[in-house]
Structure 1
Amino acid sequence: MKAILLSATCVLLAALLAFSNRVDTDSPDKKFVMSAADGGMLEVKLGELAAKKAASAKCRDFGKTMITDHTKVNGELKALAAKKQISIPTGLSAAKQQQYDSLNAMSGEKFDMLYMNMMIASHEETIGLFQTESNKGQDPDFRKWADSKIPALKHHLEMAKRLLSEKTTGTAGN
């Protein structure tokens, strides 16, 4: 009888631990994860386009930086989400795919200008998303993780603004 009671207690405890490590399916934290994953995938895919298609070397290099940095962050998010039993999407949302398609249709200087404008808008949006999670998220792990990424996102934003400014003032060079 003790063995049955002990086994039942262990099963119940394991179920409670598994449940406590889950994030509510409609929680703000899950919405953050989905949005962050979608944005992160877009950053990588746009970076891949820029690395191939950008007219200026600086834009190509910026694209390579986005690939490297956001691939790393995307992996971290995927691992943390998996711990919380959240599956992240493997493809872009329709809205993000449309952004990708519009950039892919461009070439030359028009490509560079649109890419840098997209990077500024995307990073501003992402910083807001991460700040909201950092300040108001319910899950302490996601809050801490989001907070730790804000400085790098702000750095990317400043890099993008600087590069766009150089392009619009004609000081960019190759």
Structure 2
Amino acid sequence: MQLKRIAYTLCFSAGTVLLSGMVAFAQAPGSPQQPSMPQQQTPSSSTAGNPGAGSGAYPSTAPTSQDFAEKAFVSKALEGGEAEVQLGQLAQDKSQSNDVKQFAQKMVNDHSQMADKWLKPVAKQLEVPEPKGPSKKDKKEIAKLQGLSGADFDREYITMMVKDHQQDLKEFKNEADAAQDQNVKQIAQQGSNIIAKHLQLIEQIAKAHNVDVGGSEMSSSK
């Protein structure tokens, strides 16, 4: 009986020592550890909801001030061209002078071609909506001329044409120098040449009709 107790005590002690040794080994430096699960990253507030943020998938294409300026030029040129066509048609009906009528017909032809061949295709390319007719300022000029006739009409039409073409020539030349879009630059350059010829012609008509356009600068001096 005493021998059984001694044997049991020895076996228990040996087991305790063995278990202690295993625990000590597991806690010893350099012992292999169970790999931890990778933590799932939570999208930050700067990228959440924007799959391309920080990846270059959606590069910035915000329009610049230069883009707005070129679009505004094309839109205004279309408006001005439409006004020239309507004023020319009105002059053909109301003028009593052959040279004024011939000039008016040239305005209808040239500005219609400029719009159809140059301005409208570029406007479509730049996603510029076509204006719904002349500007408010040009509409007022058209309304003013509709109330005139004879020599009064000719005088007012000639004066308008000189001033309008002086302003148009200045704007087209500025755009030809400043435009970065090559199509816009080209129509500005070509348009400048045509407008300069128009200005020279209407200034000659103004002299023939003794119309004082007040501060008019001859196209040859530009």
TM range (shorter): 0.7 to 0.9
State the partner residue of 2:72.
31
Larger radius of gyration: 2
Q: Deviations over 1:114-146 (max 9, x none)?
A: 111111111111111111110112322101211
Q: CA deviation at 1:25?
A: 9.8
State the partner residue of 1:8.
none
Q: How far apart in 2 are the matches of 1:69 and 1:80?
A: 17
SS of the aligned residue for 1:91 comes to coil
State the partner residue of 2:110.
69
Q: Deviations over 1:22-54 (max 9, x none)?
A: 897971101101211111111101000011110
Is 1:97 the counterpart of 2:161 in the alignment? no
Q: How far apart in 2 are the matches of 1:67 and 1:79?
A: 19
Equivalent residue runs for 1:77-96 within 5 Å: 77-96=119-138
Q: CA deviation at 1:81?
A: 0.8
Write 1 or 2 for the structure with the bigger share of helix: 1
Q: How far apart in 2 are the matches of 1:109 and 1:28?
A: 40
Runs of 4+ in 1 over 4 A off after TM superposition: 22-26
State the partner residue of 1:135.
177
Higher RCO (CA 8 Å, separation ≥ 6 residues): 1
State the partner residue of 1:155.
197
Is 1:165 the counterpart of 2:202 in the alignment? no
Quick one: which amino acid aligns to residue 131 of structure 1? K
State the partner residue of 1:55.
96
Is 1:111 the counterpart of 2:149 in the alignment? no
TM-score relative to the length of structure 2:
0.64
Quick one: which amino acid aligns to residue 61 of structure 1? Q
Aligned length: 152
SS of the aligned residue for 1:89 comes to coil
SS of the aligned residue for 1:87 comes to coil
Q: How far apart in 2 are the matches of 1:139 and 1:72?
A: 21
Residues 23 and 99 of structure 1: is their aligned pair in 2 closer, same or farther, counting only changes over 3 Å? farther
- In structure 1, runs of 5+ residues without a counterpart are 1-14, 170-174
- In structure 2, runs of 5+ residues without a counterpart are 1-57, 212-222
Stretch of structure 1 that moved more, 80-89 or 158-167: 80-89
Q: How far apart in 2 are the matches of 1:43 and 1:23?
A: 31
TM-score relative to the length of structure 1:
0.80
Query: Are the equivalent residues in 1 in contact too, given 2:75–2:128 (CA < 8 A)?
Result: no
Q: CA deviation at 1:90?
A: 2.3
Quick one: which amino acid aligns to residue 66 of structure 1? M
